[in-house]
Amino acid sequence: MAIATVLKDEEHYVAEWASFHRAVGVRHFLVYDDGSTDRTLPILRDVLPPESLTILPWRFAMTDVRMGLALNRQVFAFAHAILNFGADFRWMGFIDVDEFILPKTGRTIEEALAGANGFPNISLPWHMFGTSGHKTRPPGPVTRSYTRRSADPMSRLKNAMNFKCIVDPCAVSEVSVHHFHTREFGDRTANDAGEVFPLAGRKAPAFYSSRYLQLNHYYTRSEEEFMRKIERGGVSPTAWQKRKTRLTIALENIEKDEVEDSSMTDFLDRNGILTAA
């Protein structure tokens, strides 16, 4: 199992993210660095052994002149990861540093993936966590500090629903940030329980499952951190005002109907996992 991510200036969060995923069986981290100027990269080198970490400079802002469109650096990074490193791994996941893949059965992601019956393209719906009432950054780790999330991961509320994927990299034929195609199955994708749907059908309530794996998306963290997230911009080529509006609407929708979710803290306690804060 490998994870590929695009990041920038995540010094406050990357140690916990990396140490958690290493504890749940991720063997290698492909880190595409979008010009970090803080301690993100030294921290990663401290947390992970050299054989488990590949850092690739990935700072660019390019435009397709003919189409007049900014090129998405995440899509290019994910394609690069598959083409250059895919043959070394059975599974490859594509997530951000505010996303954690939580095994619901077994102790590792690979053990939990048995529920998908080997299907090469697995879509995990966001379980969207808001501020959990925190005004400022709490002293503890993210995974223990944020326990309230949107009640319905399959909600059609604007900007509060999407997916991230785990794929067999050797089967991939098309790449995007939130969905993949495979050669044998086209746009068909499975949930964590191995139930297969066409891409257009995965937003249906029937697709939902978190029996084996749950993708926790700590979308805002505290109110203070959420404002910093808005101000600094993202890795995708999105105008600042449009991004601000999207993030704000998403938070409103997350907090319209929240539930307490202790799945992560229960897993950490049950398995004695201590993650860096």
- Confidence label for 236 from pLDDT (cuts 50, 70 and 90): low
Tell me what percent of the chain is helix, strand and coil, each rounded to the nearest 5.
Answer: 35, 25, 45
Strands 2-7 and 92-94: parallel
Segment 215-232, tens digit of pLDDT: 999 999 999 999 988 887
Give residue 158's pLDDT: 75
Rounded average pLDDT over 146-153: 96
In DSSP notation, 52-86 reads GEEEEE-----EETTTTEE--HHHHHHHHHHHHHG
Give the DSSP H/E element, type plus range, for residue 150.
strand 148-150
Please tell me the distance from the alpha carbon of residue 118 to that of residue 147, in angstroms, as a whole number: 31
Average pLDDT of the chain is 94
Distance of CA 119 to the CA centre of its chain: 19
Task: Please state whether 133 falls in left (phi above 0), alpha (psi between -120 and 50) or beta.
Answer: left
CA angle 151, 179, 166 (to 5 degrees): 80
Domain ranges of the chain: 2-271
Is the distance from CB of 100 to CB of 16 less than 8 angstroms? no
User: 64 pLDDT exceeds 90?
Assistant: no
Rounded average pLDDT over 73-79: 95
User: 244 pLDDT exceeds 90?
Assistant: no
DSSP 36: -
Give residue 68's pLDDT: 78
User: 235 pLDDT exceeds 80?
Assistant: no
Q: Per mean pLDDT, which range of 123-132, 162-171, 246-255 is the poorest?
A: 246-255
Give residue 80's pLDDT: 97
User: 165 pLDDT exceeds 80?
Assistant: yes
Is the distance from CB of 64 to CB of 39 less than 8 angstroms? no
Alpha helix locations (H) across 113-239?
142-145, 223-232
Is the distance from CB of 219 to CB of 157 less than 8 angstroms? no
Strands 2-7 and 28-33: parallel
Segment 44-60, tens digit of pLDDT: 999 999 999 999 999 87
Please report, rounded to a whole number, the percentage of residues in the chain having pLDDT higher than 90.
82
- What does pTM read for this prediction? 0.94
Rounded average pLDDT over 174-201: 97
User: 237 pLDDT exceeds 70?
Assistant: no
User: 39 pLDDT exceeds 90?
Assistant: yes
Give residue 102's pLDDT: 98
State the chain's maximal CA–CA distance in angstroms. Answer: 55
Place of tokens 């077994």: 106
Give residue 232's pLDDT: 77
DSSP 125: E
Give residue 60's pLDDT: 77
User: 157 pLDDT exceeds 80?
Assistant: no
- Confidence label for 160 from pLDDT (cuts 50, 70 and 90): confident
Burial of 170 (0-12, 13-18, 19+ CB in 10 A): middle
Distance of CA 41 to the CA centre of its chain: 19
Rounded average pLDDT over 225-242: 75
Segment 89-136, tens digit of pLDDT: 999 999 999 999 999 999 999 999 999 999 999 999 999 999 999 999
Give residue 201's pLDDT: 96
Is the distance from CB of 244 to CB of 250 less than 8 angstroms? no
